[in-house]
Structure 1
């Protein structure tokens, strides 16, 4: 029997690019069931598809998997737009059956309220200097290409997957500083909206930390880390990494799951739009 979660959050799959781990995310979604699936931005990479990206059958299979989850498990799917799939702005908001396409959302569960958004709204480069963002995207694409070559060699040697880009992010001081500021700005946003926590993606770095009393959760990505956030029926959030899942058994190897919170009493899950009258805090990079 499949492991049942209350809510699963995944982001940054970047379908349409060579680096997208489409097969892996489909395999992941086949292993688990959930009441709510939140696709938190950059699921389709419209930027790359306009240039050199290619849509493959494995990318279509991802959406076939989503449709099966809706039909077979009555899963409610929430697709939040990111900066790479900003073409969704043309149809927002949209609801068709169990599928909703939104800019952002509020998530209430077990007495806590979380603001969920992709996170690019706090990226001043992406928001204000689009040409610089595209230039950075080219460099990042090259880094992923190099990463594929390295891991092709490692597979032949029987070595595990290694993320070169994650290593670079952890070593370059400017990248570390950027990520730290990004997380703090999002925590300020959550506090401004009266939330207990914030759930995001965008920077391809799975994370759980408490910032000034606010729970900061990042689901990571399916290009480098292959990670997701999952919530059980007692309100406990977990980070699950694809490379640490035992696909030979039903469920997850508990020793490989990163527990995020202590258990809480169960409460109904509810969804609602955030209050539009609340102003965003100033972006201060």
Structure 2
């Protein structure tokens, strides 16, 4: 059971929207440690916040978790700009300690180079016809709303989760063709930049496969799929799905590792108890939204 990775990539969290699985991704990040955390675009949904979105405490907790990773484990965090958080254009590039905010990046590991980008720059719809992109965003938001209603009734009947938007995408030929073309164009871009692979997000479709000898990786999203990419210290990449995580097994592993003296591989599951608290520790600073 691996709980310590070299690099973890997440994208499309869409904080500020009702569909964002902020609690789930914060819990996910609490289970794992990594040297590098790459937030690959659309982490904050500026489009929805301008219209009808709301910022909640659980959305702030996500960034609290990021700050703890930086402070406690010296994790290097890279926040790459997406189309929904294009407000970052006003401050790019920016680096504060272990936090770097930038447009894209080239990541090198185990002798291989990966071009990492959110992916919207290769989407002619969002680049050239912005009003159509907004219209598509409205349609997707409606599908997510309808999806909550459908799954509410499915849950009452003991049925598993069903992704309505993924179903629609798989049935609409133009959507299937668009995704296929999107993946091929990204693979071409990686090759043009002299990279062995490409890591992206944007289309909310997790993937880990070869396209014309280019390693294509898509981290999925935290609206429906709830998936992330993780690289171990040997350079192997895998997709991790939140719904497939056995949190009890991870906790048991961490407890065993702690008592065997290997707590560096996981999060210490026990609170440290002190009978001589310093005055400064009685009222620890709080980070509030």
The 2-side partners of 1:221 and 1:44 are apart by 12
Q: Is 1:126 matched with 2:115?
A: no
1:19-168 matches, cutoff 5 A: 19-168=19-168
Q: Is 1:171 matched with 2:178?
A: no
- Distance apart, 1:251 and its partner CA: 7.4
Could you report, residue by residue, the CA deviation over 1:99-122 in whole angstroms, capped at 9, with x for unpaired residues?
000100000001100000000001
Counterpart contact for 1:2–1:251, Cα < 8 Å: no
Which has the larger displacement, 38-47 or 207-216? 207-216
Which has the larger displacement, 48-57 or 147-156? 147-156
Could you report, residue by residue, the CA deviation over 1:6-57 in whole angstroms, capped at 9, with x for unpaired residues?
0000000000000000000001000100000000000000000000000000
Task: Indicate the SS of the match to 1:248.
Answer: helix
Where do 5+ consecutive residues of structure 1 fail to align?
Answer: 254-285
TM-score by length of 1: 0.87
The 2-side partners of 1:182 and 1:197 are apart by 15
Where do 5+ consecutive residues of structure 2 fail to align?
Answer: 254-289
Aligned CA RMSD, in angstroms, stands at 1.5
Number of aligned positions between the proteins: 253
The 2-side partners of 1:59 and 1:198 are apart by 28
Counterpart contact for 1:245–1:252, Cα < 8 Å: no
The 1-side partners of 2:108 and 2:251 are apart by 25
- Distance apart, 1:157 and its partner CA: 2.4
1:236-255 matches, cutoff 5 A: 236-250=236-250
Counterpart contact for 2:207–2:219, Cα < 8 Å: yes
The 1-side partners of 2:203 and 2:252 are apart by 26
Distance 1:186 1:251, change over 3 A: farther
| Larger helix fraction of residues | 2
- Distance apart, 1:156 and its partner CA: 2.2
Task: Indicate the SS of the match to 1:217.
Answer: strand
TM-score by length of 2: 0.85
The 1-side partners of 2:76 and 2:156 are apart by 40
Counterpart contact for 1:40–1:80, Cα < 8 Å: yes
Task: Indicate the SS of the match to 1:15.
Answer: coil
- Distance apart, 1:152 and its partner CA: 1.6
- Distance apart, 1:249 and its partner CA: 1.3
